[in-house]
Structure 1
Amino acid sequence: MKTTFVLFTIFILSLSLTVNAQDGALLYGQNCASCHGANLGGGNATSLVDGIWQFGAENGYVFRNIKFGIPHLGMPSYEATLSDGDINAIISYIRESENKVGAKKPPIAKEMETMDYKMDVEIFAEGLEVPWAIDFMDKNTALITERPGRLRIVKNGILLDEPVKNTPEVLNQGQGGLMDVAVDPDFKENGWIYLAYSHVLTSGYDGNRPPAMTRIVRGKIENNSWTNEEVLFEAPHDTYRTTRHHYGCRIVFDPEGHLFFAIGDRGAGYQAQDFTLPNGKVHRIFKDGSIPEDNPFVNEEGAMKSLFSLGNRNIQGMAVHPETGELWTTEHGPLGGDELNRIESGKNYGWETITYGKNYNGTIITEETHRPDMEQPNLYWRPSIAVCGLDFYRGDLFSKWKNKLLVGALKYEEVRLLQIEGDNVIHEEVIVKNQGRVRDVSTGPEGAIYVVLNNPGTVIKLTPQ
């Protein structure tokens, strides 16, 4: 009887998908075919069955692109003419059509061309599971984090089979897991390596969804094992949250020996304005976890002493300018409103009191985009490109790009090159496109550019021809 019920359920589900796709075919013909072609192969607009999605491949991205449009590129919004069910039916039809023609994402390119350079592309590491960050112990040894909780080593161009043993246990749920890895600027002398990850409380908690928060530790690697661990930052346990997104978190160092990291708002945007809480903020500590006496909220009663800035939604990229020592960040907006910010001590960057974005369902978060006591972004992207990893180019191989910003984008699958004069972005160019979701971008010790990709889980290495 149970088997009969399961088979009947599968039949009903498959029937509903078929009807959905059939409805989608009709709706596609009425609304999309004039641009994307009757057979989805392209026309005035791009093909939908070639495996290439320039503005987000996941269903959620496709849904929002149809509903809200990409007006600056000529794609209108269909919010007023198509219901959510209609849009989902069109997506079902597109996915069915992709399957019929065997659409696949093209392989990693072997070379790319920019305005300044032709670049060779080498696969540095592949077969990774949600790689999140890369940093270098020396010119021959790289560390790569995998979000499920593994720290991997690439030695002399070879990805070692065995992950580093005894690394911290992470909460691998939602956007949580093992996130950033950062090698101490004085690594040759002290051997310290820093990790950021989602830490979960289990002891003394009886609920089904234990709370979690971003945690910062440092340790050393000896005989492929994580040792000498020290906890540098652990938020008060009563501030932990049961949500599973917006953890941040990147780690960078400035020339004065400070360590900066950022924690996302953890899905509670209103808490980004509360200086008694850790989330939605940039933090500054010393490398041993102690608090600098000149931190901006040290003397504020009730404030977290590690705070450096407020009002940051979910920072996914951090970089320190090689010459000025200024801290720059890329911050995920909601629907629209991704930001590039130069972070200054004690400043408030607005979330969620002011924003250029909306909720993912299109509803208004706030009508305000400016307040006199809150900072404006140095640049914002609308629509969102899903900004992620960030680095100032610091090498010599691409000499024309010295001190320019490399910005990764998950949704748009891009690396963008930004030229900054003072506080202003005066030029922006896409130098990598459609190779995968760009999670991190970093200058290697020899001056090559390393790009960490999700879907596929690969790290590519860029060098000039």
Structure 2
Amino acid sequence: MKYSLSISKSFVLASVFLISYIGALAQDGALLYGKNCAQCHGANLNGGNAASLVDGIWQFGAEDGYQFRNIKFGIAHLGMPSYESTLIDDEIRAIMQYMKDQANKVGAEKPPLAKELETLDYDINVEIFAEGLEVPWAIDFIDENTALITERPGRLRVVKNGKLQAEPVNNTPKVLNEGQGGLLDVAIDPDYENNDWIYLAYSHEIEGSGGESRPPAMTRIVRGKIQNNTWTNQEVLFEAPHEMYRTTRHHYGCRIVFDPWGYLYFTIGDRGAGYQAQDVTLPNGKVHRIHKDGSIPENNPFMAEENAMKSLYSLGNRNIQGMAIHPETGQLWATEHGPMGGDELNLILAGKNYGWETITYGKNYNGSIITDETHKPGMEQPALYWKPSIAVCGLDFYRGDLFKKWKNKLLVGALKYEEVRLLSLEKDRVMHQEVIVKGQGRVRDVSTGPDGAIYVVLNKPGTVIRLTPKNK
């Protein structure tokens, strides 16, 4: 009995201490802000030499993790210093809580979606194409009047004649909706008019695997057809050996594209095991190439290498979530998430090694060094890297006629920075980049529609917007 009372007393004392500690931190947040931040962001947080912190706009990442790292490690190229050596982590969190409390006090809200945008070449009309979606991930078009949109929790949605259909497609594959996993990419066969094939990428879980609390999972590629709003005729095109599945819940990839010669390319992220991206016997951290029926091309670059996965096309890729084929050259381009810093744009070539995690321009999210190496013989350099990371996601070459000045330019989406960037390429060089969409939401995908409009898939809000040039 005395033992129980002693435990209870200790618990009460610990709780009182914790409450006092949290209260002290809350008070310190205002003092710490005044000492470290007010000179630039204003005593009332409403801006000065730097942006307001109570207007609902976060240019460099709205989520807590982004804000924490921005304070701790700074944004050097914009003149924001790092506080890694002057503030402990709890003090940074206290400042963040103070900012959040002040924003709530003044009723700060993210501004509504813009109706117009201005770029160097065009003034743009913005309209909502679909809304009320739950973590939309990808969009592709069956024809000018029909679009398919994936929702990460596992739904395939149809937009018909400009209207989002109430019922998702029935009987789509079961997905592991956990962490970064779920229903990912959707791609329409280039010869859809003759064969009706639709391709899906998703996180596939091994069911009944010994009662594990976290069953292993891996990216899987299937194709099927939609008849009477039901997924039918499914064929599995790629499923890794189950012993290669992992219990992690992030870095699945995945994009699907087709080149002019009929090859199908898809990506699998490193699944949180960067060292495996260099292992040709494993599927993760790679780009894969197959025929549209799932068979392996005889000229794949690792066919002759003993024990290598025969579907491999490139290796050393951390987590590719943007991939596109150049409309004129047929070249494969990809955007790849770096760690903290080092997002990459790469021209993907057969058999090449893109370095992860042996070389990188980034470092771990806690600031520790992954490697000091940024170059190594036999490993490719990116065509462009972003440091700090903008969290690249979604990629397409503009192929329409509405924005004639942007023909064959590259549209790059960004999650963290909530951007679409327009990149001008000259062969394998990036000549210029411009932000054409900013602050509308986390950009998950960007695509040229058959009507020549640009479609941007947003998370937070779960919306797809349609961009067209304003009539002069």
TM-score of the superposition, structure 2-length normalised? 0.96
Find out whether 1:408 has 2:413 as its counterpart.
yes
What residue number does 1:331 align with?
Answer: 336
Kindly report which structure 2 residues correspond to 1:281-292, keeping only aligned pairs within 5 A, or say none: 281-292=286-297
1:352 to 338, 354, 357: 357
What residue number does 1:185 align with?
Answer: 190
What residue number does 1:246 align with?
Answer: 251
Kindly report which structure 2 residues correspond to 1:426-465, keeping only aligned pairs within 5 A, or say none: 426-465=431-470
Find out whether 1:314 has 2:335 as its counterpart.
no
Q: Cα deviation per residue 1:69-118 (whole Å; 9 max; x = unaligned)?
A: 10101101111111111111100111111111111110000000000000
CA–CA distance in 2 between the matches of 1:41 and 1:204? 54
Find out whether 1:111 has 2:116 as its counterpart.
yes
Find out whether 1:174 has 2:183 as its counterpart.
no
Change (3 A) 1:244 1:33: same
Kindly report which structure 2 residues correspond to 1:60-459, keeping only aligned pairs within 5 A, or say none: 60-459=65-464
CA contact (8 A) 1:24 1:86 kept: yes
State the aligned residue count: 462
CA–CA distance in 2 between the matches of 1:117 and 1:249? 32
Q: Secondary structure at the match of 1:108?
A: coil
CA contact (8 A) 1:35 1:44 kept: yes
CA–CA distance in 2 between the matches of 1:184 and 1:98? 47
Q: Cα deviation per residue 1:4-37 (whole Å; 9 max; x = unaligned)?
A: x999999987765543322111100000000000
CA–CA distance in 2 between the matches of 1:164 and 1:356? 42
What residue number does 1:19 align with?
Answer: 24
CA–CA distance in 2 between the matches of 1:283 and 1:45? 44
CA–CA distance in 2 between the matches of 1:86 and 1:15? 15
CA–CA distance in 1 between the matches of 2:161 and 2:189? 20
CA–CA distance in 2 between the matches of 1:116 and 1:58? 32
CA–CA distance in 2 between the matches of 1:15 and 1:462? 52
CA contact (8 A) 2:209 2:215 kept: no
Which amino acid in the other structure matches residue 129 of structure 1?
Answer: E
Change (3 A) 1:95 1:184: same
Question: Percent identical across equivalent pairs?
Answer: 77
Which stretch of the first structure deviates more once superposed, 47-56 or 200-209? Answer: 200-209
CA contact (8 A) 1:405 1:417 kept: yes
Q: Secondary structure at the match of 2:317?
A: coil
The Cα shift of 1:204 comes to 3.7
TM-score of the superposition, structure 1-length normalised? 0.97
Which amino acid in the other structure matches residue 318 of structure 1?
Answer: M
CA–CA distance in 2 between the matches of 1:110 and 1:222? 36
Change (3 A) 1:204 1:44: closer
The Cα shift of 1:207 comes to 1.1
Which amino acid in the other structure matches residue 78 of structure 2?
Answer: L
Change (3 A) 1:103 1:278: same
Which amino acid in the other structure matches residue 189 of structure 2?
Answer: D
Q: Secondary structure at the match of 2:266?
A: strand
Q: Secondary structure at the match of 1:426?
A: strand
Gaps of 5+ in 1: none
CA–CA distance in 2 between the matches of 1:216 and 1:7? 54
CA–CA distance in 2 between the matches of 1:412 and 1:9? 40
CA contact (8 A) 1:21 1:96 kept: no
Which amino acid in the other structure matches residue 272 of structure 1?
Answer: A
Q: Secondary structure at the match of 1:288?
A: coil
CA–CA distance in 2 between the matches of 1:426 and 1:323? 18
Q: Secondary structure at the match of 1:152?
A: strand
CA–CA distance in 2 between the matches of 1:182 and 1:397? 23
Q: Secondary structure at the match of 2:267?
A: strand
Which amino acid in the other structure matches residue 295 of structure 2?
Answer: S
Which amino acid in the other structure matches residue 35 of structure 1?
Answer: C
Q: Secondary structure at the match of 1:86?
A: helix
CA–CA distance in 1 between the matches of 2:106 and 2:54? 7
CA–CA distance in 2 between the matches of 1:163 and 1:220? 14
CA contact (8 A) 1:17 1:92 kept: no
The Cα shift of 1:415 comes to 0.1
Q: Secondary structure at the match of 1:61?
A: helix
Q: Secondary structure at the match of 1:188?
A: helix
Change (3 A) 1:216 1:330: same
CA contact (8 A) 1:150 1:167 kept: yes
The Cα shift of 1:310 comes to 0.4
